[in-house]
Amino acid sequence: MTGAARTLLAGILLALSALVCSPGVGAAADEPVDLLLVLSADVSRSVDHAKFQLQREGYAAAIADPRVLAAITSGRNRRIAVCFVEWSGVGNQKLVIDWTLISDSASAKRFGDQIVEAPRSFADRTSISGGIDFAFAQFARAPYRSERRTIDLSGDGTHNSGRDLAAAREEALATGVTINGLVILSERPLPWNPEHTNPPGGLANYYRDNVIGGPGAFVIVAEDFKSFGQALISKLVAEIAGLPPTPHAAAHRHVRIR
């Protein structure tokens, strides 16, 4: 074999090796799941450290809750794929945990542990459009496939940074994605910008009118950050099962159906 031929063969083998080892390539790329779910969390500056910790711990506990696991294992494929992102102002979006299969308590606990242990990403303004755009982009790189794709967006304030929110929402909805909202109410308005966390008509109505959309989209309200985890459990069960929240959840968590 000539030197040129050896060089060509080495290049081909190196390319094949990179292809096989790349995430999302090969058999896993075609692996079906019952839901592709992006957990998209607001970490803007209105979310102080105590609220941030409660939110992170709420996500970790909810994903491993027996009710959520029962919903996951009742689907056709008995598994979902989840990733976790955080967002704040323009350009401040981060993939905290990449696409992960959740199929049992062990995988759910591992995912939850990663959420709790990861450092905070940002503390800037509130670009809901940036949060939607970044979450939507994750579907194209998912190494799994599902007919159902949902963005689960939580936040405690109105959009105040970045491109037009309506445009970001409509572009995602046009592809069949569902955007659900988990609104965290603030007991006290921000002194420097009270309408950010307490807009006229309430933050839940703001999310219903400006953020959520798609098949079966809904908003669940957590009365404060301490009730975030329980509200998130109801939300995850509804999303995974592909059904609206139960009347019990609606009565106790102020669900708004779009």
Q: Are both 43 and 26 inside the same structural domain? A: no
Going through the chain in order, the beta strands assigned E by DSSP cover 31-32, 36-42, 80-87, 93-102, 144-145, 149-155, 178-184, 218-222, 256-257
Using CA atoms, how far apart are residues 161 and 186, in angstroms rounded to an integer? 20
The answer to whether residue 25 scores a pLDDT higher than 80 is: no
Which residue in 190, 151, 194 sits closest to 47, CA to CA?
190
For 225-245, what is each residue's pLDDT tens digit?
A: 778 888 899 999 999 988 766
Q: Are both 27 and 153 inside the same structural domain? A: no
Q: Are both 26 and 37 inside the same structural domain? A: no
Q: Are both 203 and 157 inside the same structural domain? A: yes
Structural domain count of the chain = 2
Q: Are both 8 and 80 inside the same structural domain? A: no
Using CA atoms, how far apart are residues 254 and 114, in angstroms rounded to an integer? 30
Q: Are both 60 and 163 inside the same structural domain? A: yes
The answer to whether residue 196 scores a pLDDT higher than 90 is: no
Q: Are both 21 and 116 inside the same structural domain? A: no
For 46-103, what is each residue's pLDDT tens digit?
A: 888 877 888 889 999 999 999 999 999 999 999 999 999 999 999 999 999 999 999 9
Q: Are both 235 and 160 inside the same structural domain? A: yes
37 and 153 in contact (C-beta within 8 Å)?
A: no
For 108-143, what is each residue's pLDDT tens digit?
A: 999 999 999 999 888 789 999 999 999 999 999 999
Using CA atoms, how far apart are residues 6 and 31, in angstroms rounded to an integer? 36
What is the radius of gyration, based on Cα positions, of the chain?
A: 20
CATH number (domain holding residue 208): 3.40.50.410
Contacts 24+ apart (CB under 8 A), 48-57: 50/225, 51/156, 51/184, 51/225, 52/120, 54/225, 54/226, 54/228, 54/229, 55/154, 55/184, 55/225, 55/228, 56/115, 56/116, 57/116, 57/229
Q: Are both 170 and 76 inside the same structural domain? A: yes
Residues in the chain: 258
Q: Residue 93's pLDDT is what?
A: 95
pLDDT band per the 50, 70, 90 thresholds, residue 7: very low
In the predicted model, what is the mean pLDDT of the chain?
A: 84
pLDDT band per the 50, 70, 90 thresholds, residue 181: very high
Interior CA angle at 190 toward 188 and 194, to 5°? 95
For 148-161, what is each residue's pLDDT tens digit?
A: 999 999 999 999 99
Q: Are both 24 and 62 inside the same structural domain? A: no
Q: Which domain holds residue 14?
A: 1-31
Do β-strands 149-155 and 144-145 pair in parallel, antiparallel, or remain unpaired?
unpaired
Using CA atoms, how far apart are residues 237 and 98, in angstroms rounded to an integer? 21
Q: Are both 92 and 165 inside the same structural domain? A: yes
pTM to 2 decimal places: 0.83
